[in-house]
Amino acid sequence: MPTGGEIEHAGCFSGLFGGRRQYTNTSRRHSKGTLASAISGVQRGTQDELPKDPQFASSCNFSGGLEDGNLPSYSQSVPNSIFRPEVLKTIEQELDKLDPDLRDLSLRIHDHPELMFEERYAHDQLTAFMALHGFTVSRHYLGLETAWRADFHHGIGGRVLGVNAEMDALPGIGHACGHNLIAMAGVAIAIAVKLALQAHDVPGTVVLLDADTACGLTAEESGGGKQILLGRGAYEGMDACIMQVIFQQNLTALPLLIAHASASPWEGVNALDAAFIAYSSISVLRQQIKPSHRVHGILQGKNWTPNVIPDYAKMKWIVRAPTWDEVLILRDRVINCLKAASISTGCRVTITESDRYYNLRQNLVIAQDFASTAQQRFGFHTIYPTNSEGLTASTDFGNISYAHPAFHPVYSITTDPNSSNHTPGFEKASRTRAAHKATMKVAKSLALTGFRVLDDCAFYSQVRKAFEENGPQV
């Protein structure tokens, strides 16, 4: 619990809620148009590509600051009893035994930060850990070098629970997105469910998948890792999926003619000017968009020098809104700003959109069960927002929520007042004992809810009904 000047920031992601209001919407997460998705991919002739790892930090901000360790709320009212307390006791006892090993695993990943595409150390550490605990492990899964899968089945038949995790770090500031904790939590949940299935002789399967997204993912340039695995069949046969926290980003480029800046500026077409005009136009556009919408981007260049007119500029833009229809409208307005900049400077613009992040459709039946355990066992006070006002993040787990019943809670760790996610202070906080303890409480609560998906047929019928009533599936 924070005291004095300590502030808890939601999840691995500090709040972008106005005034740090104490709520988190779980009915849907923002959709994101990979418009850099508004702007990526260009005809550059023989010019080399920019590096795959541009040195900028993406933003994984998911929800507002929460006080007193509060978890976000998933229900206005939750059940007044915990499902099968004896199973929760098993989960707690087993995870308490594993706590030192789980913390050591988290610290090893934290102290060896790896960027997207490069999480080889984390891949090897996590897969070895899962194999040691009786899971069948598939390394370098489905053609993604650092993706992996771990399966465990008990008994005959039963349902299949999917658990997702992430393990990548940020350029320059390490695990300032807390993915060492997210990876460890996924491991803890999967192992806890496995041990509970065995101890209480319940048939079922638990699958742990790790393909990063958020702050940099496995195969991020072509879309979220979960999107890729979904398309390749990794989620087939799953009855529900659970996890915590993610994000992604996108691009644009403006290639031009080179000219000397002082000798013959009239011979050149200035890509930097075009990018500057586009950036300014989009900045002005922001005052005309809804409070729940977001547009943000960065500018990159190659071989720039003051005495040569830049012939190439690349921009990455993210367009977010509560629903996909709203994303499309806002995307078109951003694209018009880019086209106008191209026309006014004589530049050629190529716009490439990366894969879509759909809004996150939380399964409220699963959410209510999680909230019940979180409140009654661990004392987390939860509240339930009725709209998505103030939410500003996206996750490719949203795509999973269109294919299967899904739940994606956000939790808090204690940081200093100025250390939101993607800051050096948050990187330090993600290594603390307090952060580990908070993560373990969430893992225990989620593990019991995941177990219930496998064990309680009536409960799962409600889960499935809620999913089918929530709109079209993919």
Quick one: pLDDT band at residue 128, thresholds 50, 70, 90?
Answer: very high
Higher pLDDT, 412 or 110: 110
pLDDT at 422: 79
Q: How far is CA 116 from CA 122, 171, 174, 209, 385, in A?
A: 11, 9, 12, 16, 34
d(CA 45, CA 86): 65
Strands 252-255 and 204-210: unpaired
How confident is the model over 385-404, as pLDDT tens digits?
333 444 445 677 888 888 99
pLDDT at 321: 85
**What architecture is domain 85-250+357-470?**
3-Layer(aba) Sandwich (3.40)
Outline which parts of the chain fall under CATH 3.40.630.10.
85-250+357-470
Q: What are phi and psi of 202, to 5 degrees?
A: -110, 125
Higher pLDDT, 296 or 30: 296
Outline which parts of the chain fall under CATH 3.30.70.360.
270-345
According to DSSP, the residues that pair with 75 across neighbouring strands are none
Tokens 């590509």 — which residue?
49
Is the pLDDT assigned to residue 216 strictly greater than 80? Answer: no
* CA distance between the termini of the chain: 41
**DSSP state at residue 357:** B
How confident is the model over 248-278, as pLDDT tens digits?
223 344 444 433 333 434 345 688 888 899 9
Overall CATH class of domain 270-345: alpha beta
Q: Across residues 107-115, what is the average pLDDT?
A: 96
d(CA 65, CA 11): 9
How confident is the model over 285-331, as pLDDT tens digits?
999 999 889 998 888 877 777 767 778 888 989 888 887 788 889 99
Lowest mean pLDDT among 164-178, 197-211, 368-382, 446-460: 368-382
Q: Tally the residues of the chain.
A: 474
Lowest mean pLDDT among 53-67, 179-193, 323-337: 53-67
Helix axes 433-455, 85-111, angle to 10 degrees: 130
d(CA 175, CA 185): 15
User: What proportion of the chain, given as a percentage, has pLDDT over 70?
Assistant: 71
Strands 160-165 and 204-210: parallel
According to DSSP, the residues that pair with 295 across neighbouring strands are 319
Higher pLDDT, 349 or 394: 349
Mean pLDDT of the chain: 76
pLDDT at 394: 65
Answer yes or no: are the C-beta atoms of 288 and 359 closer than 8 Å: no
pLDDT at 118: 87
Answer yes or no: are the C-beta atoms of 140 and 229 closer than 8 Å: no
Higher pLDDT, 294 or 18: 294
pLDDT at 445: 94
Strand order in the sheet with 204-210: 136-139, 148-154, 204-210, 160-165, 240-242, 406-407
pLDDT at 268: 52
Answer yes or no: are the C-beta atoms of 121 and 112 closer than 8 Å: yes
d(CA 161, CA 223): 24
